[in-house]
Structure formats: C-alpha cells, structure tokens
Structure 1
Amino acid sequence: MGQKEWYIIDNINEIDTPALVVYPDRVLQNIDLLKTMVDDAGRLRPHVKSHKSIDVIKLMLQNGIEKFKCATIAEAEMLGMASAPDALVAYQPNGPKLERFIALIKAYPDTAYSCLVDNRQTALAISNKAIEHSISISVYIDLNVGMNRTGIIPDNSALTLYKECLTLPGVTLRGLHAYDGHIHDSDFEIREQRSETSMVPVWKLIDQITAAGLGKPDLIAGSSPTLPVIARLKEIDISPGTFIYWDKGYQSAYPEQPFLPAALLIARVISLPENGKVCIDLGHKSVSSESELSKRIFFLNATDLKFIGHSEEHLVAEAGLDHNYKIGDILYGLPYHVCPSVALYERALTVVNNAVKGEWLTTARDRKINI
C-alpha cells in the first residue's frame, strides 16, 4: 500500500460534516518557517483574523512571537486573555467601539494596546476619551499606500496629523501603519516592484518627520503577499495572517512562500442527482463564497469535480456520467480563502497522527466575548 496522504483522518466516521479541521503539527511548521523569513522575530506582528483562536496565539507566544495585529474588539480581547504583550487593533475606534477599546485597556493591563487614526476628528475623540478616563491611548497613523479603503495619503496632510497627534493630551503616538492589501499579483517581480513603489511616499514622510526633529517613527507595513519583500527591510514590523493555515488561493498565487495547508473543510457527498451530478454538504454557510464558483473550495481527493451550483447548505458538482462517487464519501477541502471560512465555524477539530484528538475554539468568532 502507498503512503497515507497527510490529511486523511482515520476516525472520520465519528465526525459530522461540514467541519473545520486543523493540523497542529503543520501550524507549528508554518510558525517556524515564518520566523526564518525575517532577520529578527521581534519584527513579526501576525494578524489573528485568519484563525481567531486563543490556542494558536498561545502557540505563537510559546515560539517567541509577542506582537500581534487584529481587527475587532473580540480579537483584541482574545489577545488580552492570552496575555499577549502587544496588540494593535488595526481599526479606528469610533462611538461605542472606542468605549469598548478603553474598557479593554483597563481590563487587560498586561497587554499594550494601540489603534489606528487617519483623521483629526478621530484623534480628538480618542484624546477626549483618554482624558475622561485618565489613561493614555497609543495610536499609529494609518497611511493609504494604494488600498484606498482607509488611511491618509502619506503627504503633508499626514505630516500635519502626525504633528498634531504628538501634542494631543492622552494620546501616545507610536508610529505609522501602511497596509498594502491591494498588491496581490502572482508574478513576484511585479509584486515586488509595486510594493517598493507604494513605499516611496512612506520613506519620504519618515524623512520629513525625522528632519523635523520628531524622532524616527515605528513602522508597520506589508501584508501576506508582500511578506518576502518587506521582510528584507530592517526594523519594520510586518503582519501576515494567512500563513498560519494557508489556503488554496495563496498556495496557487505565491509559490515562493512554501507554507503548508494546515486547515481543511471536511464534507460528505449527501445526494446523487441525475445526469452525473453529486451534491455535497458544503453550502454558503460553510465556506467563504465571495469568489467565483470555481474558486471557493479545492477538494484534495476529488480534483475532477466541476461545481455548478451553490446554496446555503449545498454544493452541487458535475462528476461525469461514469463517476464512482457514492453517498457518504468523504471530501477533504482546501478553501481558497481560509480567513472568512474559519469565521463560519465555532470550533476547529484538531488532527494529530491522522486522528481527531481535540478541538480549538474559534474564540473571537463572535463580535463580543466579555467586553
């Protein structure tokens, strides 16, 4: 008999589907690989949005990663619960979110929290609330380097905002944040060139800040696609997220990053409609569905299937008139976009030595944990 495929689960008949499963040994290998890609592990600030799991955070802490990035208050609280030393909420807190952010700062003093600002109004609101609560709130100026989502253009207006934040009571300005999520070309040379071009105004802004006698700001930059580019630079934090589980989309697009798929979606064939079709229990509620139908899931052990229909609870595929699929067949699926797929599951089953042995809760799946 040939060697068993890495993803096979021996006790699969005990597992209801659809299910999210993770392979902790592969997660650890991905953490180790990430650490080899930078000159100093202290530069790593992984984004927790991909896994939303306190168990994964604990693994990274045990392996010397101490700085993190997140998007939601729940993710930030999860980091506080894990006693992560440093947590950037890469979002601008407004209204009730600002109140919750302040509650986090008070509830988890062992975690140094920070957030983003890209405008004077938000900066003033943060300052006023900090004074009201007798605390100091750390911020980074969010720069728009091409994503065109949030952030201030890194020009004189950014310099003005930077200077003002330095004078605001209750605000501690820590540096700059430049997310380049718009750069995702498969061709590495093109990606590299676009990354370098996007950073030119950032370097100019840093030079202006330094020349004004304001010191050299800390910088958080890059994304998963530009990780190999930003990793070559010095003294810059980088915050990849998808590396931890990897997915089919990034595996196909970025072969220069040899991370291992470490999370799969398990499904079953539940019906055999006429005309050579199979129906699988993996609907919109079970796998991220923002991409075209052919790029939602890749079944490792059923690469011949051609998807023709997708609804809330079902995925229909063309298998050919002479197919051998049977009701109850297990399919091991690698999602094209793992981050929102993970968020659909309240827990991930852990697979060790080809058997499900435990589970990791998707701790920050909900919008609220305690605060």
Structure 2
Amino acid sequence: MTECNFTIQDTSSIVSPGLVVFRDVMNANLAEMLREAGDVTRLRPHCKTHKMGAVTKIQLELGITKHKCATFAEAEMLAEAGVKDILLGYNLVGPNIQRAVDFVKQYNDILFIATADHPAPVRELSAAMESSGQSIQILIDLDSGQHRTGIAPGEDARQLYRLLDELPGIIPGGIHLYDGQNHQTDLEERRQAVLTCWNLATALRDDLEAEELSVPRIVAGGTGSFPVYASLSDRALELSPGTNTFFDNNYGKMFPDLQYTPAARILTRVISRPTNDTLTVDLGYKACASDPDVSKRVVFPDLPDAEPILQNEEHLVLRTAQASSFTPGDELLAVPGHICPTSALHKSAYVVENEEVTDNWEVSSRDRWLTI
C-alpha cells in the first residue's frame, strides 16, 4: 500500500466540518482499481461514493467509459461529465418511469440501462417508452441471497427475461448481480461465497442463450467481491467496484486484503473540552453517515484512543486520555466509517494536493433531483 501524506499546510480556508479529498491518495486508489481489473474496459465503477463530476472526468481520462449509479441525479451528473454508457442500478417504479423516458430523450447519444425484477413495472416502462418512440436496455436484477432486491434464479427469472425480449421499447441487456451479503473477512471464504453467486448468474445466462436470447453483459459485484470477480475471465463480465475510489474505514477493517486507503476525510475542530477526559468536536451527524453505530462512524488516525461516546446534529463527544493537550480550535482529521452517504452530506469537497488546498469539487449529485 502506498505511503500517504495527509498534511495540510494551511487549513484557514476549510470551514469545518469539511470534507477533504486527498488527490494523490484517490489517484493511488484508482490505479489499484485498474490494476485489479486487469483491463480498463471491464470496469463499471459505481459513482455513489463520490457523486462528483470532477471525479467522473478523472475516471474518464483513465479510460473508464462505463459507469454505474443509483439515482437519476447521479445519472444526470455522469451524463453531464461526458459518460456515454450509464447503468442506473435501480428498479424503476412510479415517477421514475417517466424520468427514464425523459432521460433517454434528453441524452439520446447515451446508452442508458436500468434494472428490473418484476413484470408489472416492466410493462409500464414498455408502454411509456413505446408511446414516446424511445427504448431502454434493462438488466434482470438477480437475487443472489441478499434478499434486498432481485428475482430468484429459476423459471420466473427466465420468464421475466423473455418478457424483456418481447416488449416494445425494451431491449434485454443482461444480468445485474449484486452480492452485498458477502462480507466475509477471510478472502478464501469470501471467494467461495462470491463464486456461488457467480454460478447462479452464469447458469441463468447459459439457459437464456440456449433459447437464443442475447445476454450481452453480467454486471457483478461490489467493494468486497471486486477482487474475486476481477480474477475471473468471462466475455460478458463487467466489474462494478463500489467504494474503492474514496474507500472508508469500515470496509478497510472488514476487507483487509484490499489495498486501498481512505482518500476522503473530514477536517473537524475542537469546540469544547467539557471534562478532563473528553473533547467535543464540530462533527455531528449532519456531516458524517450515521448508519454505523456511533463507535464505528469515524476514527481519528492522530488520536487513536479517541472513543466516540455521544453524537448529535452538530457535536461529537470523544473520550481520550489526551484531552488535556487540546484547546478549542485545534484540528483533527476524521476517517468516515461509511463514505458513500457521508459525501452526500456535503455541498462540496476541498481538494488537497502537495499539502495545499488546490480546488473545491462540487458534490453535484447529492440530491435526488437535478433537472430530470
């Protein structure tokens, strides 16, 4: 793992709590992603981690032309950044059906793909696309065991894919295989679990192709399963790493085999020292994801004994034996436990290169709605 420098010579422009991206660390993460993939054309990284047009443009410069997202705002951000192949890895219902029509109309030079796991919204989407003279590729969303979304492998899945082939305005685009249940810390245990999921997808693919149905892609994986899928060779496989661009502390602990470093951190300042062994910093849960337990929301590399004991909207109380050495106004860098929702809590990120703040990147798709 590359030795990283997290020094910021002048922090006076950083309003805390402020999201800070260390450009060199992010670049190293992207280089590791490319190394693991083996071939840049196999990559379809998820933009949910950064939600930034600036980061997307850097990935495009590296030759990463296929991208994945979870919201129409993210899809629009990718399109405006210049991406021409976008997968919205989300099942379309309600107003999102018309939004899909509007998207393919507005960005008619972009390959736009979405997912589905039930015939009812697929039929509704087909009618909307046909009436507007548009079409969209749809991946069947396969449930590999997480039971969050997706259709179980079997005859129902085959029937749904046949329906994609039959309906006007719908083009069958392949299989979406997300295996977010695979959190095994041991790499070999994770490998076996991931391969079990992969075999479900390839068996379905083989059945469909035996019926002369086109299955051009299998979009597979997330952060932890990425290295396993990357070790496979299959003409249809597209690799979909999640958090890797920025990375975070909780995945780093869960998957120690991954050679990534958290590139996005939060600069926070001490605002009070209420007791002899506690500090209060201005890092409330308006500035970092609150889905992990409070003990796992952030860590402080320069204050390793800090124990988060209370967090509110604007405050985080830390217990530390070093409390007496701090004065209000002192600064710390926090590493988020979960970076993806953390980035959505910030309007923009300060960019640091060579120990200097050099830029400010807008988190342009942090909202649910931009223009479509």
Fold match (TM-score > 0.5)? yes
Name the stretch that deviates more: 8-17 or 82-91: 8-17
Aligned partners of 1:80 and 1:110 also within 8 Å = no
Match of 2:175 in 1: 176
Match of 2:262 in 1: 261
Determine if the alignment matches structure 1 residue 315 to structure 2 residue 316.
yes
Match of 1:82 in 2: 81
1:87, CA displacement in angstroms?
0.3
Match of 1:359 in 2: 360
Q: Secondary structure at the match of 1:91?
A: strand
Match of 2:210 in 1: 211
Could you tell me how far apart the structure 2 residues matched to 1:322 and 1:91 are? 46
Match of 1:276 in 2: 277
- TM value normalised by structure 2: 0.96
Match of 1:102 in 2: 101
> Are residues 326 and 155 of structure 1, via their aligned partners in 2, closer, same or farther at CA, if it must alter by over 3 Å?
same
Q: Secondary structure at the match of 2:38?
A: coil
1:291, CA displacement in angstroms?
1.2
Q: What do the CA deviations read for 1:110-161 (whole angstroms, capped 9, x no partner)?
A: 3211101111101101110011110111111100001101110011110111
Could you tell me how far apart the structure 2 residues matched to 1:361 and 1:51 are? 10
Could you tell me how far apart the structure 2 residues matched to 1:291 and 1:350 are? 26
Alignment of 1:1-371 (within 5 A): 6-234=5-233, 235=235, 236-320=237-321, 323-371=324-372
Q: Secondary structure at the match of 2:168?
A: coil
Q: Secondary structure at the match of 2:12?
A: helix
Equivalent position amino acid for 1:30 in 2:
N
- TM value normalised by structure 1: 0.96
Q: What is the root-mean-square deviation of aligned Cα atoms in Å?
A: 1.5
> Are residues 26 and 280 of structure 1, via their aligned partners in 2, closer, same or farther at CA, if it must alter by over 3 Å?
same
Q: What do the CA deviations read for 1:84-112 (whole angstroms, capped 9, x no partner)?
A: 01000011121211111211111112321
Q: Secondary structure at the match of 1:49?
A: coil
Aligned partners of 1:247 and 1:334 also within 8 Å = yes
Segments of 5+ residues of structure 2 without an aligned counterpart are none
User: Which aligned runs of 4 or more in structure 1 are off by greater than 6 angstroms?
Assistant: none
Could you tell me how far apart the structure 2 residues matched to 1:59 and 1:223 are? 21
Could you tell me how far apart the structure 2 residues matched to 1:238 and 1:322 are? 45
Q: Secondary structure at the match of 1:13?
A: coil
Equivalent position amino acid for 2:91 in 1:
Q
Work out the percentage of aligned pairs sharing the same amino acid. 36
Equivalent position amino acid for 2:177 in 1:
A
Q: Secondary structure at the match of 1:365?
A: coil
